[in-house]
A and B are shown apart, each in its own frame.
Chain A
Amino acid sequence: MASWVLKGLRTGIRTTTYPDRPETAAGVTPGRPQGTRLGDDDAADLVARCPTGAIAQQDGGVAVDLARCVHCQRCLRDDAGTVVPWEATYEWASVADDKAAMRRLERAFGRSLHIRFVDAGACGACVSEARQLNNPYYNMHRLGLFMTPTPRNADVLLVSGPVSDAMRLPLQKAYEAMPTPKRVVAIGACAVFGGVFGPSFAAAGGAAEIVPVDVVVPGCPPPPLAILHGLLLAVERRPAVPTLSSPPQAGGGRS
């Protein structure tokens, strides 16, 4: 056993300093597209290339609805035509559509959270990225965030997947079993809008179809830091970011 202790000590501390300081290591995020100014023909071409309808023509360019992006990278590959710039950010979480959700977020909790994860038909990548939060690089315990085996002890329901038919009821029951106040954080394009799967005969097309969603974390899958941002947003330790990336104004600034 002593050899394991030594091994652990020799490995040293690998944990990110996020959210105190930004994480700059390569590969922590796939990045995502940004709205940009373009001619009409190029803009129309990009709109046609985007398979999920995330890109739309707007104000002399294209705007990106980041909630719908599944990182297919077709707007990034230059052999297909014009490209849009990608930005290597990882703070992707946003408050769900309506203002009512905002009110519910007001300081319902202290700084710490107990989280119950429900896989409602996720492909495994979101599950894997959420699991990374416990690895030494992200170590969410240091932030007072804990997984709990039962929804009865949970403050936050972390949901991934488009909500497959057989997971509707377990998801609903898990939500109902949680004590109030409670929040739902939907992670991944599938849980946000159904992703490439739904809605269909087999999937509801997003967690909001079944339970009231407070925070959405877009991405396919969202990297661990984006999920962490979503959890920190649920306790208002980090601000939300908008899910729409508009083309910059002619003057240079963003609308």
Chain B
Amino acid sequence: MTTTAAQQSSARDFVDLCRNRWQGRVDASADESGGRLACQRSDLVDVCQWLGQERDYAFATLIVEETADGRLLTYVFYGSDSPRLVRVELALAAGIAEVPSIAGLANGPSADWHEREAEDLFGVRFEGHPRLGEFVLHEDWPEGVNPMRHDFDGRARQTHRAVDPKWEPPTIVAASGAFAMPVGPVFSDFAESAHFLLETVGEDVIRTIPRFFYKYRGVEKIAEGQMPDRTVLLAERFSGTSAFAHGLGFCQAVETICAIAVPSRALALRTVFAELERLRHHAAVIAGICRSTALVVATSQAELIEEDLLRLSAEVANHRYLFGLIRPGGLAADISADAARRLAEASRAAAARLGDLHDMLRYSSSFLDRLEEVGVVAHDRARSYGLVGPVARAAGVDRDMRKLFAYAGYKSADFFVPAEKEGDGYARLRVLLREAEESAALVDRLVSSLPAGPISAPATAWRAGAALSVVEAPQGAAFHWVRLSADGSVARYRITPPSFTNWHGFHLAAENFAFQDFPIILASFGLSNAECDR
């Protein structure tokens, strides 16, 4: 990523501002990876609050790393000003586990789950956090065992703990006839495992208490010590329906660390495949929304589009979900001129069919009745929770990582990011439909002007270092933090997928609704539990 002179000067202004504000208590600097503010525990809350409230930065992720002399906590923020990324670093000496929580800040709710996760996996204690414990690791996990610590052996199988977990969180609704209805973890025909406790007084659901991490596979732990060519298998496979985006996120981080220059043809093709994946993913979510309202023909139409795109992926890239295609340095396979033509033709056809479907859905009043004003996420709540992707854009939070960070071939690509205001189920459907059409158009444009040349950089020596890579996965912003050791093995891999960010805000849309709308709200969020749980 190259920076312009204007961006450099405003990054310098940012550094000066921070130095003046905290008078040397905060060590501020900036380089091509963004701004860096190293602070003490006493200033952490103030720094994070200032970034969120005065500078309009959104919270991206919290990375905990064990270092030689303690722990390093890195809070990452992103925004549209320069520097686009700001890392707030807090070094903790060995033996100190208490850190002030930032979850109470106005932009803090987005840090809420990150702190809960760090408490479970690392044993960091966030002072002032309203609710810690039993988050990633459920109640049958032994107390005080933190699997992400270096002294914990992740490859060793845990002996099964003979506990029958009965998860009964405190219910809040106190009314006559009120009861809590459990849904999950095994429910519906093909739903991914998750649990929802619906507090209800008959037909009306007052609030929803979701619970995730039934599918926690410890991807970040088992990546440690593995070489990038093995870790990329995990990056692709922890969330199979957005495999290419996450593979790209991992590879970009490795390429930044090792200063690998990816050839232009590979960059363009990566953009093509990322958009093909987005198109297919959105077709699947649209099919899910139609299915949740029992509109059978529309469901079939969307399913046909999805299956055709899966087949197209297998034809041009040998895999229906684009596994095995990306690797550090470029791509593992090129596409032929015939395949490029096939891609252009098929994406045009998919766009036309989605357009038809959109036109028909717009005039299906019984369908619209089920979606309009259902599952509303208000604009200010979408912002304070730091929601991302189509869910956020449907509520008017107009952020897209392809525009903000212009990675791969997006710098030169001409595309439009649709947004709506209402934040309801119909707004999310419209965003998905228009984004899918835009992705199809982008694939068509890109494959007709592919640069010639190699698809992979020559092999380079590994380097020690760390980098954050940002991609716009189909569900929204994904942050991949990678630290490599000098031999190239992964020392720390932290993935913040969009489903993690957006599931955190799901309960906002699942309040005070009629019970039969639950599947519709669920479908219109279109999130993946595999992606969230990792």
CA distance A220 to B320 in the complex (A): 10
Which residues of chain B are within 8 angstroms of A124 by Cβ–Cβ distance?
192, 239-242, 528-531
Q: A27's contact among B158, B187, B230, B315, by CB below 8 Å, is which?
A: B315
Output the nearest chain B residue to A25 by Cβ-Cβ distance: B311
A196 interfacial by beta-carbon distance below 8 Å: yes
Which residues of chain B are within 8 angstroms of A161 by Cβ–Cβ distance?
215
Q: Are A72 and B154 in contact (CB under 8 A)?
A: no
Q: Are A4 and B233 in contact (CB under 8 A)?
A: no
Which residues of chain A are within 8 angstroms of B528 by Cβ–Cβ distance?
124
CA distance A136 to B306 in the complex (A): 11
Q: Are A11 and B301 in contact (CB under 8 A)?
A: yes
CA distance A196 to B236 in the complex (A): 10
Q: A interface, how many residues as a size bin?
A: 35 or more
A143 interfacial by beta-carbon distance below 8 Å: no
Q: Are B217 and A77 in contact (CB under 8 A)?
A: no
Interface of A: prevailing SS:
loop
B307 interfacial by beta-carbon distance below 8 Å: yes
A124-B239, A200-B222, A201-B158 known; A4+B321 contact, CB < 8 A: no
Output the nearest chain B residue to A148 by Cβ-Cβ distance: B189
A102 interfacial by beta-carbon distance below 8 Å: no
Q: A31's contact among B153, B160, B237, B318, by CB below 8 Å, is which?
A: B318
B-contact bits for A120-160, CB 8 A (1 contact / 0 none)? 11111111111110111100000000010101000000000
CA distance A166 to B239 in the complex (A): 18
A248 interfacial by beta-carbon distance below 8 Å: no
Name A99-116 residues within 8 Å CB distance of B.
116
Q: B297's contact among A4, A51, A126, by CB below 8 Å, is which?
A: A4
A31-B318, A169-B165 known; A123+B239 contact, CB < 8 A: yes
Which residues of chain B are within 8 angstroms of A202 by Cβ–Cβ distance?
147, 154, 158, 216-218, 221-222
Q: A121's contact among B193, B301, B310, by CB below 8 Å, is which?
A: B193
Q: Are A164 and B217 in contact (CB under 8 A)?
A: yes
Name B280-310 residues within 8 Å CB distance of A.
284, 295-298, 300-301, 303-304, 306-307, 310
Q: Are A26 and B311 in contact (CB under 8 A)?
A: yes
Q: Are B320 and A223 in contact (CB under 8 A)?
A: yes
Q: Are B217 and A221 in contact (CB under 8 A)?
A: no
Q: Are B216 and A166 in contact (CB under 8 A)?
A: yes
Output the nearest chain B residue to A138 by Cβ-Cβ distance: B307
Q: B237's contact among A79, A135, A168, A195, by CB below 8 Å, is which?
A: A195
Q: Are A136 and B215 in contact (CB under 8 A)?
A: no
Q: Are A73 and B185 in contact (CB under 8 A)?
A: no
Q: Are A221 and B324 in contact (CB under 8 A)?
A: no
B-contact bits for A71-89, CB 8 A (1 contact / 0 none)? 1111011010000000000
Q: Are A166 and B213 in contact (CB under 8 A)?
A: yes
A247 interfacial by beta-carbon distance below 8 Å: no
Q: Are A117 and B190 in contact (CB under 8 A)?
A: yes
Which residues of chain A are within 8 angstroms of B157 by Cβ–Cβ distance?
199-201, 204-205
B333 interfacial by beta-carbon distance below 8 Å: yes
B6 interfacial by beta-carbon distance below 8 Å: no
A39 interfacial by beta-carbon distance below 8 Å: no
Output the nearest chain A residue to B315 by Cβ-Cβ distance: A27
Q: B191's contact among A119, A134, A195, by CB below 8 Å, is which?
A: A119
Q: Are A197 and B304 in contact (CB under 8 A)?
A: no
CA distance A162 to B222 in the complex (A): 14
Question: Which of B156, B213, B319 counts the most A-chain CB atoms under 10 A from its CB?
Answer: B319
B152 interfacial by beta-carbon distance below 8 Å: yes
Which residues of chain B are within 8 angstroms of A196 by Cβ–Cβ distance?
233-234, 237
B417 interfacial by beta-carbon distance below 8 Å: no
A51-B229, A132-B307, A136-B303 known; A165+B237 contact, CB < 8 A: no
Which residues of chain B are within 8 angstroms of A73 by Cβ–Cβ distance?
318-319, 323-324, 332-333
A58 interfacial by beta-carbon distance below 8 Å: no
A135-B300, A203-B218, A220-B237 known; A165+B315 contact, CB < 8 A: no
User: Closest CB of chain A to B206's CB: distance in Å?
Assistant: 25
Output the nearest chain A residue to B499 by Cβ-Cβ distance: A124
Output the nearest chain B residue to A135 by Cβ-Cβ distance: B303
User: Closest CB of chain A to B320's CB: distance in Å?
Assistant: 6
A255 interfacial by beta-carbon distance below 8 Å: no
User: Closest CB of chain B to A85's CB: distance in Å?
Assistant: 13
B-contact bits for A201-221, CB 8 A (1 contact / 0 none)? 111110000000000000011
Which residues of chain B are within 8 angstroms of A29 by Cβ–Cβ distance?
314
Question: Which of A119, A149, A170 counts the most B-chain CB atoms under 10 A from its CB?
Answer: A119
CA distance A223 to B315 in the complex (A): 14
CA distance A126 to B240 in the complex (A): 8
User: Closest CB of chain A to B348's CB: distance in Å?
Assistant: 17
Q: Are B360 and A3 in contact (CB under 8 A)?
A: yes
Q: Are A125 and B241 in contact (CB under 8 A)?
A: yes
Q: Are A167 and B193 in contact (CB under 8 A)?
A: yes
CA distance A136 to B298 in the complex (A): 12
Q: B238's contact among A123, A132, A204, by CB below 8 Å, is which?
A: A123
A-contact bits for B212-253, CB 8 A (1 contact / 0 none)? 011111110110000001100110011111110000000000
Which residues of chain A are within 8 angstroms of B296 by Cβ–Cβ distance?
8
Which residues of chain B are within 8 angstroms of A3 by Cβ–Cβ distance?
360, 363
Question: Which of A71, A126, A201 counts the most B-chain CB atoms under 10 A from its CB?
Answer: A201
B352 interfacial by beta-carbon distance below 8 Å: no
Which residues of chain A are within 8 angstroms of B138 by Cβ–Cβ distance?
165-166
A27-B310, A167-B215, A170-B185 known; A147+B190 contact, CB < 8 A: yes
Known: A28-B314, A125-B237, A170-B186. 17 other contacts (CB 8 A): A73-B319, A74-B324, A119-B193, A119-B529, A124-B240, A131-B189, A147-B189, A164-B216, A165-B141, A166-B214, A167-B185, A202-B154, A202-B158, A202-B218, A205-B157, A220-B323, A223-B320
Query: Which 8 A-B pairs rank lowest in CB-CB distance, beginning with the nearest?
Result: A125-B240, A27-B311, A202-B218, A123-B240, A27-B314, A135-B303, A73-B324, A4-B297
- 20 intermolecular pairs with C-beta atoms under 8 Å apart: A5-B297, A11-B300, A26-B315, A28-B311, A71-B323, A72-B323, A119-B190, A128-B284, A128-B321, A131-B189, A132-B307, A135-B303, A136-B300, A137-B303, A170-B214, A200-B155, A200-B222, A201-B153, A202-B217, A221-B321
